[in-house]
Structure 1
Amino acid sequence: MAAMFLWLLVFLWLQLPSAKGKEDNVVCAITDPFQIPYEYFQKGDLIIGEMTSQLGCVIEELHFSEPPKTKFIDQLLAISKKYQHVLSLVFAVKEINENPKMLPNVSLGFHIYDSYTNARMTHQNTLNLLSTTEKIIPNFKCDKQKNLIAVTGGLDSDTSFHMATILGIYKIPQVANCVVAPVSSVQFQFHSFYRMVPNEQYQYRGMAHLLLHFQWTWVGIVASDDDNGEKFMQTLMPMLYQHGICTAFNEKTPSISHALDNFSSLELIRAKSFSVIVSEVKVLVVCAEPQTMTALIWMIYFFSLLEGIAEISMAKVWIMTAEWDFSLETLHRGIDIQVFDGALSFAIHSNAILGFTEFLQLLHPDSAKEDGFIGIFWQQAFNCLFSDSNEHHKNITTCTGQEKLESLPGALFEMSMTGQSYSIYNSVQAIAHTLHKVYSSRTNHRTIAHSLRLNHRNLQHWQLHPFLKHISFNNSAGDTVSLDENGELASGFDIINWVTFPNQSFLRVKVGRIDPQALPGQEFTVNQEAITWHSTFNQVVPLAVCNAHCYPGYSKKKEGKPFCCYDCDPCPDGMISNQKDMNYCFKCQEDKFPNKHQDQCIPKILHFLSFSEPLGLSLAVLALSFSLNTALVFGVFTKHHKTPIVKANNWDLTYSLLICLFLCFLSSLLFIGHPHIVTCYLRQTTFGIIFSVAVSCVLAKTITVVLAFMATKPGSRIRKWVGKRFTNCILLGCSFIQNIICVVWLSTAPPFPDFDMHSLAGEIIVECNEGSFSLFYCVLGYLGFLAIISFTVAFHARKLPDSFNEAKFITFSMLVFCIVWLSFVPSYLSTKGKYMVTVEIFSILASSAGLLGCIFFPKCYIIILRPDLNSKGHLIRRN
């Protein structure tokens, strides 16, 4: 297996640039060591140069045993799809030259070289662009100069940097198309450098927003083991941490050159690759520059063959940077691209360019003799050989030149313009519009134009910079193209969803945008419904978290774990969490309480004694029954008011007592129902005043009995106290004190409706707050004081000889009264809500019923059932 992996690394090594820090040769199979075999030149008054990246090369170490030579191997076309970059420039120049309104009387030409993704070759071909002869002779000009006015390229930061170090010396405008800037402060270090690509910070910001949108907080990061990969991780990871996103791993794709130098590290690289592909992490964020993707694709292919884990590797969401345009090397024809089905990538914003597809359809190997790239592209793309080729393979067909580009799978070539090709197209358009502005200024500023003598023969590179820095135009697709103050494209990135098919075709679906120029709050947009996920996920948004969600009713518990990893604890009693993955539970509002699952607050039930519930209805019926009985007793006494038993015990006080008891029973109804301001005012004061009058009547009756017997003694002076005047004084005096207490209570701190939110779980107690509890207890205390005096007097008079003596019955009735109200106080204080009210209603009914039953029912018994005892003779006989 190690041997197979070694061969894999050799193939992969053939695709990569040379290792830095070594002298190198580029091996080729041509005679002239200084001839560059692949270039594309078209004449014009002004030449636009381009540095493309089509080919790869094998790097050999230079031993200085022979003069350095430049050699190439034709089979190493890196990515056939990149040939579209050449064609986008050719199409843009063709479109400009055919436009009579753009640069009239001036024709544009181009000169295209390949960087071979190699530093030495990039420098060499940049010097070739600057040279006016076939040999590289910098700073030499002749009459037949090609008049290079600007350069576009390269497509990666390393190539752009190598070009900028040379072009900056001559102040030649370089409009690069690299997604990642070659240095941190481009305009400060390279004054002639521009990028037809938005600032990469927008891309990183969009990645963080995308992960947050889908609540993916546990992701893996993959980047190349070089400066670009290190910059990617150092920029992205802090941004992810700020947004609460953790990384399961941060892997760098292996350095193939290092592996070849140190064979003992093969197993380590294999293990790292295995951890990336087979990891359970569902979302992988990939810095999709060529080296990373080449290594990653080979890893997937290798493990799918050797380990049989293709399904595991496919069940992921790949999030790619804008360097990714879904391209495969021609060596990767056999790789199943459905591994990347449902992938999301950022892309340079692009639109369809009218006429480009038709331009591609007319393309064939003989369409442009000057095109040095089309032959090798055609052979690699269609896997065939031309008849005049020096190579011969039995299993490879002969190219006819009539093959159709639209028949190629999208991974090898696309008929629609890709994002990077669109960037190159806009670069050429920007240069042309800049030239147009320069020439247009001749009409508006004749004196300046005359002094500078602006024309295509003496136009200098540096004269474009003031116009190029502020360029702004609408291209043929309708997009506005302008550069910001940093010399970068003032735009954003598209979010692309890749839908792949078994025949290696695919669809790119634009599902979102990161646009820094949009209104606040609209910078990031994504249409989740338009996204097609990998078939493994069954169109369900994949879950990418360290652990399962904490559902409502639970909160996160983090102890000794990464901040994205946590346990789930149920919310404490009385608290809820109503969203997933909440850090803390919280209390409900006062008028609400947690439900059973503690995931939402529900309104509390109003808690009060209602007429509609059985308890309230029973007490109301009982109160009305007692009041009806009192009315019946009053009727009996009224009907028999001339009988001795009624006359014998001061019938005025008897009637007053019966009326008070009738009102006492009815006053209990004030305690039932929803408390309002009126009922709260009347409840306790009505009860206190009526009861004080009732007890005063009992006290007056008792004292009257005592005085009556004392007055019968010869020579007694008490006779003058016996009479209605004295009893009325007792009645009014005793009740007047209670009235004063109630008036003071209502004047200073009256009762009022109140809501107790906390005493009962899930219920709001609607009650009457007594206002001043001291005055409330004064009312009860004074009532108890009258009851004790009445009981004491009646107790001493219980043995007085009289057939109709009430003292015994009053004694018993007051005993019942005192017991009821003494037990009321602890019961009242130990209950809440409607049960507190029930205790007071029961005390009112029980004490009133005790007075009614003990004092009046014996008399009613005699009046109704034993009328023979209700006679004056019987009264005299007993006495």
Structure 2
Amino acid sequence: MRDRRSIAVLTGPSVITSDQIGTLLGLYRYPQFTIGSFDQALSDHNKFPALYQMAKKDTLIITAMVSLLLHFSWNWVGLLTSQNENNVSVLDELKEEMAKNRLCVAYEVVISSQDLQHLYNMMANYNGINEASARVLIIYGDQDSLKVLMLGIEQILIKGKVCIMNSQWDFTLKRKYFMLGSLHVPLIFTHHYADVSGFTDFVKAIHPSKYPKDFVLAKLWFLSFNCSDSESDCVTWDNCAHDASLDWLPGHIFDMSMSGDSNNVYNAVYAVAQALHELLLHQTEVQALGNRKETVPSPVQHSESDIKRQLVAFLSSGFLELAVKVGKFSPYAPHGNQLSLSENMVEWAIETTETPHSVCSESCDPGFRKSPQEGKAACCFDCTPCPENEIANGTNKEHCVRCEDQYANTQRNQCLLRVASFLAFGDPLGMALACIALCFSMLTVAVMRMFVKHQDTAIVKANNRALSYNLLISLIFCFLCSLLFLGRPNRVTCILQQITFGVVFTVAVSTVLAKTVTVVLAFKATSPGRRMRWLLVSGAPNFIIPICTLIQATLCGLWLGTSPPFVDTDAQSEHGQVIILCNKGSLNAFYCVLGYLGFLALASFTVAFLARNLPDTFNEAKFLTFSMLVFCSVWLTFLPVYHSAKGKVMLAVEVFSILASGAGLLGCTFAPKCYIILVRPNKNSLHGFRVRNSSHTYISNKEITM
């Protein structure tokens, strides 16, 4: 036996055993093949120069686990592993792959499987796992390294969690460390290998008589096929069925398919056989050439092999301790079709009828965007409604999108086409304003006809017929100019709106100023001196109108020359509508026109207020004072309301101000005169005009109207 030399050594599946014996075998350069799972520590060729691992690095398991998490939308996951270099390295790669797919680690637990006291000392920290919102726990490690965890504190740490595990566990021990209601159905990943020709027939033909030194096989045979004698309790081969075979056993007791360790043994044996075969061929060639001094290659040089795993399948263990295949992961399938799963075959924990939910924050519905929570993982966020006129048309959107030239619906998940809108004649508001404008215009025409009909009466003559006619005509145009603000705007109407308004109202207010000045001059002309009388007789007050109007026309001309009004749109004021309106162009020019008009109104109000107590039967200074007070009040109120309004309401406010101020001038100035003409004709006489008080001397009616 001493002249017989071993070609290679197969070790495993325990990593610890392979590590310990590998150091010794490395000293003698014996090729060592480990049949256990891949371990990073054994990859150090400086420490283990002759050690070869049959299992490749488990990178597919990482992709498979991430695919499973994505399938169930589990983005809040706990990680648990034993403290060794290989497990920590795999977990680092798993976390990196999870981060690429926006999956988050809720907590990470690394335990020392060799120190039970250390484990119990850290239980206080691990108890937080139960309260964590993550209901999914990935356990990475082998059965030996995590057995302490399962036997000791599994019920405390991972009760009720969905556990995803990386390897096939010994289900015969399940009753010892998997309690019903805790890891009721762990999802376990295991490799599936291509069937080896003749392997099934080989397993069926196995019998203890062929392997008399295999005590493990003998024990399995005796226990499985009831080979004992009930009377003598003696175990003999004669008591066993002669045609008994391992394929009689249920799958949960003995699996006929090739396991991972079996596949590694198979590949290791064939690797050694292939290396030995090539070695013998090489020796034959050397002998044929007669070169006996040539170096003979070591079997180590021919011992490496490349094992290609075809599929990665994962299993769901039921409480009857049966492994049920519920799906598979194929890395060679097209992207998106790598994972196939039969969800109806998965049994979740007791009292759970629906698929478990494991997220840090619930999904944000359409119309909301994700708002990260400060200091927390990316999977933890708040749902914030999209700002005005912005949408999010899907779940978990990080940003809202603005609706350009459109508007967002009330749910803010869709952009809709806007409807063109303007203050039309057919709108209720437009129709009401148009009717009011026409009514006031016709009323003004009626008043003018009355004045023309009674032009020779004392009250008409005493209040200066020409200025009264001028004021009435300007008021008619004031009411009608409001119609320019209604209907679909165009370039012409946009220019005419403000220019007509400014000029016509300037004529009206300057006419009121001229009438007020005329009244004051009429009473001042009776005092000594010819200057006041000359101003009155020469008709100087009448020049106030063209001068004031010319100034306003100049301002309007500058407005048109610099920045005239134009057609514009407003998509923000009213939801779902694009309001077509006239942009004033230069707001400064608009306020200059309005300010000049306010200056004339204030001047007319001041003069009328000072002349309000002049003694005259037909003295209209009191009425002019009140009319200008109403006019100024309307436009002072207009400014803040105009700035606070939007869209069509802003336009309606301006139209209403035009109508209200015009109605104030018409009513306060001419209503008392119409009352005397129609109701009190006895007061409409020259005698009533001339005689009021014996202490005053008055000029004739003819002189006032000049």
TM-score, normalised with respect to structure 2: 0.70
Pairing 1:408-427 to 2, within 5 Å after superposition: 408-425=249-266
Contact (CA 8 Å) 2:601, 2:628: kept in 1 or not?
yes
Give the AA of the match of 1:345: I
Residue of 439, 451, 459 corresponding to 1:628: 439
Other-structure match for 1:157: 15
The structural deviation recorded for 1:197 is 3.1
- Superposition pairs of residues 191-206 of structure 1, within 5 angstroms: 192-200=50-58, 203=61
- Deviations 1:160-199 (CA, angstroms, capped at 9, x unpaired): 4356546656766655443332526445554554444332
Q: Can you give the 5+ residue segments of structure 2 that lack an aligned partner in the other structure?
A: 692-699, 702-706
Q: Which amino acid aligns with 2:55?
A: V
Q: Give 1:345's aligned residue.
A: 188
Shift of 1:421: 3.4
Distance 1:221 1:831, change over 3 A: same
Deviation at 1:842, TM superposition (A): 3.8
Per the TM alignment, residue 712 of structure 1 is displaced from its structure 2 partner at its CA by 10
Would you say the 8 A contact 1:379–1:386 is kept in 2?
A: no
Aligned mates of 1:441, 1:412 — CA distance in 2: 46
List per-residue Cα deviations over 1:86-110 (Å, max 9, x = no partner). Answer: xxxxxxxxxxxxxxxxxxxxxxxxx
Mark the CA change 1:338 to 1:677 in structure 2 (over 3 Å): closer, same or farther: farther
Aligned partners of 1:251 and 1:272 also within 8 Å: no
- Report the equivalent of 1:532: 346
Q: Partner of 1:421: helix, strand, or coil?
A: helix
How many residues align? The count is: 671
The 2-side partners of 1:187 and 1:285 are apart by 31
State whether residues 356 and 416 of structure 1, in contact with CA within 8 Å, keep that contact through their aligned partners in structure 2.
no
AA aligned opposite 2:352? N
Q: Give the structure 2 partner of residue 320 of structure 1.
A: 165
1:500 paired with 2:318, answer: yes
Deviation (angstroms), 1:524: 8.3
Q: How does 1:385-464 map to 2 (within 5 A)?
A: 385=227, 392=234, 398-425=239-266, 460-464=298-302
Secondary structure of 2:39 counterpart: coil
What amino acid is the match of 2:106?
C
Change (3 A) 1:720 1:209: same
- Cα 1:691–1:234 change in 2 (3 A) is closer
Q: Partner of 1:815: helix, strand, or coil? A: helix
SS at structure 2 position matched to 1:219:
strand
Match of 2:41 among 183, 191, 201: 183
Whether the aligned pair in 1 keeps the contact of 2:64 and 2:312 (CA below 8 Å) is no
C-alpha distance in structure 1 between counterparts of 2:16 and 2:90, whole Å: 14
> Considering only aligned residues, what root-mean-square deviation do their CA atoms show, in Å?
6.3
Kindly tell me: are residues 397 and 744 of structure 1, through their superposed partners in 2, closer, same or farther at Cα, counting changes over 3 Å? farther
Which residue number corresponds to residue 246 of structure 1?
106
Q: Which runs of structure 2 are paired with 1:341-380 in the superposition (5 Å)? A: 341-348=184-191, 350-353=192-195, 358-359=200-201, 362-365=204-207, 368-369=210-211, 372=214, 375-376=217-218, 378-379=220-221
TM score, norm. by length of structure 1: 0.58
Q: Per the alignment, in what secondary structure is the counterpart of residue 410 of structure 1?
A: coil
CA contact (8 A) 1:623 1:669 kept: yes
Whole-angstrom CA distance in 2 between matches of 1:197 and 1:463: 18
1:848 deviates by 0.9
Aligned to 1:30: none
Q: Residues 572 and 822 of structure 1: is their aligned pair in 2 closer, same or farther, counting only changes over 3 Å?
A: same
User: Are the aligned partners of 2:31 and 2:299 in contact in 1 as well (CA < 8 Å)?
Assistant: yes
Gaps of 5+ in 1: 1-132, 260-264, 304-308, 472-480, 483-488
The question of whether the paired residues in 2 share the 8 Å contact of 1:633 and 1:860 is answered with no
CA contact (8 A) 1:284 1:319 kept: yes
User: For 1:221, which of 76, 80, 105 is the aligned residue?
Assistant: 80
The secondary structure found in structure 2 opposite 1:247 is: strand
Shift of 1:843: 2.9
Distance 1:581 1:750, change over 3 A: same
Deviation at 1:200, TM superposition (A): 3.6
Task: Give how far 1:783 is off.
Answer: 0.3
Q: Check conservation: 1:756, 1:767, Cα contact below 8 A.
A: no
Identity %: 31
- Measured at CA, do residues 351 and 463 of structure 1 come closer, stay the same or move farther in structure 2, by a change above 3 Å? closer
The 1-side partners of 2:111 and 2:498 are apart by 79
Q: Does the 8 Å CA contact 1:160/1:176 hold for their aligned counterparts?
A: yes
Are residue 855 (structure 1) and residue 669 (structure 2) matched?
yes
- Contact 1:494 1:510 (C-alpha < 8 Å) held by counterparts: no
How far apart are 1:828 and its partner, in Å? 4.7
Instruction: Sort the Cα spacing of 1:428 and 1:629 in 2 relative to 1 into closer, same or farther, 3 A.
Output: same
What is the deviation of 1:743? 3.4
Letter in 2 for 1:315: G
Amino acid at match of 1:742: C
Tell me, in whole angstroms, the C-alpha distance in 2 between the residues paired with 1:175 and 1:645: 133
The whole-number CA distance in structure 2 between the counterparts of 1:438 and 1:691 is 116
Distance 2:610 2:124 in 1: 107
What's 1:810 paired with? 624
CA apart distance, 1:804: 6.4
Measured at CA, do residues 839 and 289 of structure 1 come closer, stay the same or move farther in structure 2, by a change above 3 Å? same
1:286 aligned to which of 139, 143, 154: 139
- Verify: 1:382 aligned to 2:382, yes or no: no
User: Residue deviations 1:482-538, cap 9 Å, x none?
Assistant: 6xxxxxx8x8x7351314263x4331223446x5x899x869857585772424263
**1:280, 1:799 → 2: CA distance?**
89
Quick one: which amino acid aligns to residue 316 of structure 1?
K
Cα offsets for 1:193-215 (capped at 9, x unmatched): 44443324554576567567643
Larger displacement relative to structure 2 (177-186 or 200-209): 200-209
